[in-house]
Structure 1
Amino acid sequence: MTIGGSGDGRPSKNQRRDAARKKATKIRVEQRKKDRRNRVFVRGGIAVVGIALLAMIALVLVNSIRPAGPGPANMASDGVLIAEGMTAVKTSSLQPDSKTVPSKPDATGTVADIRVYADYLCPFCSQFEKANSDQIVKWVDSGAATVEIHPVSILTHKSSGTQYSLRAANAAACVANYSPDDFYAFNAALFAKQPKEGTAGLDDAAIKALVKKAGVNDELSEINACIDDTTYKSWVVASTDRALSGPLPNTEIEAITGTPTVLVNGKQYVGALDDPKEFAAFVLQSAGETYSTSTPTPEPVPAG
Structure 2
Amino acid sequence: MNTPRSRTPLIIGIIAGAACLVVAVILVIAVATGGYLVLRGNSEPESGGGPAGSSAELVSPPGVAEDQPYLELSTSADGPVVDVYLDFLCPHCKTFQQAQGEDITAMADAGEITLRVHPRPMLDANSTPPGYSGRAANAALCAYAEDQRSWPAVEAALFEEQPGAEGLEDEDLVGIVDGVAGTDIAECQAAGTYIPWLEDVVEPEARESTSGTPTVLIDGEVVQVDFTQPGAIRGAVEAA
Compute the TM-score of the two structures, normalised by the length of structure 1. 0.58
- Gap change, CA 1:153 and 1:141, over 3 Å in 2: same
Structure possessing the higher relative contact order (Cα contacts under 8 Å, 6 or more residues apart):
2
In the alignment, the residues of structure 1 paired with residue 58 and residue 153 of structure 2 have an alpha-carbon distance, to the nearest angstrom, of 26
Letter in 1 for 2:127: S
- 1:112-144 Cα distance to aligned partner (Å, 9 max, x none): 322101110011111111001112222222222
Partner of 1:237: 199
Partner of 1:121: 89
* Secondary structure of the structure 2 residue equivalent to 1:81: strand
1:160 to 123, 128, 133: 128
Q: Alpha carbon RMSD of aligned pairs, Å?
A: 2.7
- Gap change, CA 1:141 and 1:66, over 3 Å in 2: closer
Letter in 2 for 1:216: G
In the alignment, the residues of structure 2 paired with residue 66 and residue 280 of structure 1 have an alpha-carbon distance, to the nearest angstrom, of 38
Letter in 1 for 2:141: A
In the alignment, the residues of structure 1 paired with residue 131 and residue 111 of structure 2 have an alpha-carbon distance, to the nearest angstrom, of 36
* Secondary structure of the structure 1 residue equivalent to 2:181: coil
Letter in 2 for 1:279: I
- Gap change, CA 1:62 and 1:269, over 3 Å in 2: closer
2:170 maps to 1:204: yes
Q: How far apart are residue 187 of structure 1 and its match?
A: 1.1
In the alignment, the residues of structure 2 paired with residue 62 and residue 79 of structure 1 have an alpha-carbon distance, to the nearest angstrom, of 22
- Gap change, CA 1:276 and 1:162, over 3 Å in 2: same
Residue correspondence of structure 1 range 25-44 to structure 2 within 5 A: none
Residue correspondence of structure 1 range 13-52 to structure 2 within 5 A: none
- Paired residues of 1:68 and 1:234 also in contact (CA < 8 A): yes
In the alignment, the residues of structure 2 paired with residue 267 and residue 216 of structure 1 have an alpha-carbon distance, to the nearest angstrom, of 37
Partner of 1:213: 179
Q: How far apart are residue 61 of structure 1 and its match?
A: 4.2
Higher gyration radius (CA):
1
Partner of 2:236: 282
Structure 2: gaps (5+ residues)? 1-44
Which stretches of structure 1, 4 residues or more, deviate above 6 A after TM superposition?
none
Partner of 2:72: 81
| Percent identity for Structure 1 against Structure 2 | 28
In the alignment, the residues of structure 2 paired with residue 241 and residue 174 of structure 1 have an alpha-carbon distance, to the nearest angstrom, of 18
Partner of 1:4: none
1:265 to 211, 214, 219: 219
- Paired residues of 2:80 and 2:218 also in contact (CA < 8 A): yes
Equivalenced residue count is 196
